[in-house]
């Protein structure tokens, strides 16, 4: 299984512009393709990235500000036009179901596939999706409206086959999957081989934390401790900290502090206000407190490791 990969579709705040797309991200993890937020025009960005629309079964919406969800109804309609059959799960704040269903009703465009709305209202972290390979939990944030970030956590996987060792120990390939699941096996000579002899420890499970939009909220640190990749909003630079207070956003430096306190491996900054021409300043500001910083950019793909 590959490392998870995050693709930025849009990373600017407020109104969409030709070269400043609102928030949307694709996360490929353990065979899933998750869509996180869906600003206006997200489906066009997805086409540009040649994303397989049919692979998206779960959409996570952080909050009901337009730059994070105005593209959702269009994408849901497009799924319908594509004759989608499989169920779709949408996770987002209370009210999201009403918004989508009202538009589908008035346009007489009820979808032939089923949409399951998972409406959120808890102020505490909760697991909202889980299977045998990963879990997704909310990260309660602090913004002008009810907002959640999302923490995507791989579960520890099977041990990995040491092909060379298995060959040397004369273990038939029919036993490989057993050994990977920590069972000792019998080789072609009838001898018992401990699973540790022919397998290696599993990959470290990877984690991704998406935190947008929010004011500086250090109490999320314990939840995202040691996260492999942290996306944290940085709408403003320190020089506009007063605007953060008013609009409930964060600065690049504050994002850096969160990354540093959480001992994150890698920080991606985004949700830039379009007032700034030189985004490099965001990187410099966060680097004052945290060393591994990347600026989000439409089309950028980051391997999570």
Residue 78 interacts with its own copies (CB under 8 A): yes or no: yes
Residue 284 interacts with its own copies (CB under 8 A): yes or no: no
CB-nearer residue toward its own copies: 13 or 199: 13
Residue 256 interacts with its own copies (CB under 8 A): yes or no: no
**Catalytic annotation, pick one of 67, 87, 131, 162:** 67
With CB under 8 A as the rule, give the number of residues binding its own copies: 34
Residue 251 interacts with its own copies (CB under 8 A): yes or no: no
To the query of whether residue 67 is one of the catalytic residues in this protein, the response is: yes
CB of 67 vs its own copies, minimal distance in Å: 8
In the 8-state DSSP scheme, what is residue 281?
H
Given the rule CB under 8 A, which of 16-24, 217-225, 228-236, 237-245 is the region that contacts its own copies? 16-24
DSSP states of 139-188: EE--SSS--EEEEEEEPP-PPEE-HHHHHHTT--GGGHHHHHTT--EE-T
- How is residue 233 written in tokens? 């909003």
Q: Name the 3-class secondary structure at 28.
A: strand
Q: Name the 3-class secondary structure at 223.
A: coil
Instruction: Name every residue whose Cβ is closer than 8 Å to that of residue 194 and which is 6 or more positions away in sequence.
Output: 184
Residues in the chain: 305
CB-nearer residue toward its own copies: 106 or 124: 106
| Site residues (CB under 8 A) for its own copies, limited to 26-45 | 40-41, 43-44
Helix or strand holding residue 42 (H, E): helix 42-48
DSSP states of 47-59: HHTT--GGGEEEE
CB-nearer residue toward its own copies: 19 or 278: 19
Q: Give CA angle at 99 (96, 103), nearest 5°.
A: 145
On whether 63 is known to bind a ligand per the annotation, the reply is yes
Residue 107 interacts with its own copies (CB under 8 A): yes or no: yes
CB of 63 vs its own copies, minimal distance in Å: 8
Residue 297 interacts with its own copies (CB under 8 A): yes or no: no
Q: Give CA angle at 202 (198, 207), nearest 5°.
A: 170
| Site residues (CB under 8 A) for its own copies, limited to 120-179 | 144-145
Which of 47, 116, 167, 275 contacts its own copies by CB under 8 A?
Answer: 47
CB of 94 vs its own copies, minimal distance in Å: 8
Could you give the CA distance from residue 141 to residue 172 in angstroms, rounded to a whole number? Answer: 52
Is residue 93 within 8 A of residue 64, CB to CB? The reply is yes
Could you give the CA distance from residue 231 to residue 239 in angstroms, rounded to a whole number? Answer: 21
Binding residue ranges: 63, 65, 67-68, 143, 213, 271
Q: Which residues are catalytic?
A: 67
Contacting residues toward its own copies, per CB under 8 A? 14-18, 40-41, 43-44, 47-48, 64-66, 70-71, 73-74, 77-78, 81, 93, 95-96, 98-99, 102-103, 106-109, 144-145
């Amino acid at each position: 299984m590959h490392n998870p990969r995050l693709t930025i579709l849009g990373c600017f705040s407020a109104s969409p512009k030709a070269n400043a797309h609102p928030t949307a991200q694709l996360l490929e993890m353990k065979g899933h393709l998750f869509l996180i937020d869906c600003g206006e025009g997200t489906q066009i960005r997805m086409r540009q990235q040649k994303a397989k629309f049919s692979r998206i079964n779960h959409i996570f919406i952080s909050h009901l500000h337009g730059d994070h969800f105005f593209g959702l109804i269009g994408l849901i309609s497009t799924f319908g036009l594509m004759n989608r059959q499989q169920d779709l799960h949408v996770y987002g704040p209370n009210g999201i179901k009403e918004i989508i269903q009202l538009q589908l009703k008035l346009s007489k465009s009820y979808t032939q596939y089923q949409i399951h709305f998972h409406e959120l209202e808890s102020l505490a972290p909760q697991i909202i999706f889980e299977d045998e390979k990963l879990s997704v939990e909310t990260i309660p944030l602090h913004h002008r409206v009810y907002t959640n970030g999302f923490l995507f956590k791989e579960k520890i996987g099977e041990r990995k086959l040491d092909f060379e060792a298995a060959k040397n120990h004369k273990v038939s390939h029919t036993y490989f999957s057993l050994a990977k699941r920590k069972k000792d096996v019998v080789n072609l000579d009838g001898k018992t081989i401990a699973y540790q002899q022919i397998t290696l420890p599993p990959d470290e499970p990877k984690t991704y934390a998406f935190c947008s939009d929010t004011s500086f909220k250090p109490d999320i640190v314990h939840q995202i401790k040691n996260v492999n990749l942290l996306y944290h909003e940085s709408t403003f630079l320190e020089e506009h900290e007063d605007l953060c207070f008013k609009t409930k956003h964060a600065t690049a430096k504050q994002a850096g502090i969160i990354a540093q306190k959480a001992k994150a491996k890698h920080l991606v900054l985004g949700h830039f206000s379009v007032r700034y021409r030189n985004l490099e300043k965001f990187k410099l500001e966060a680097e004052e407190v945290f060393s591994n910083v990347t600026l989000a950019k439409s089309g950028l793909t980051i391997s999570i490791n």
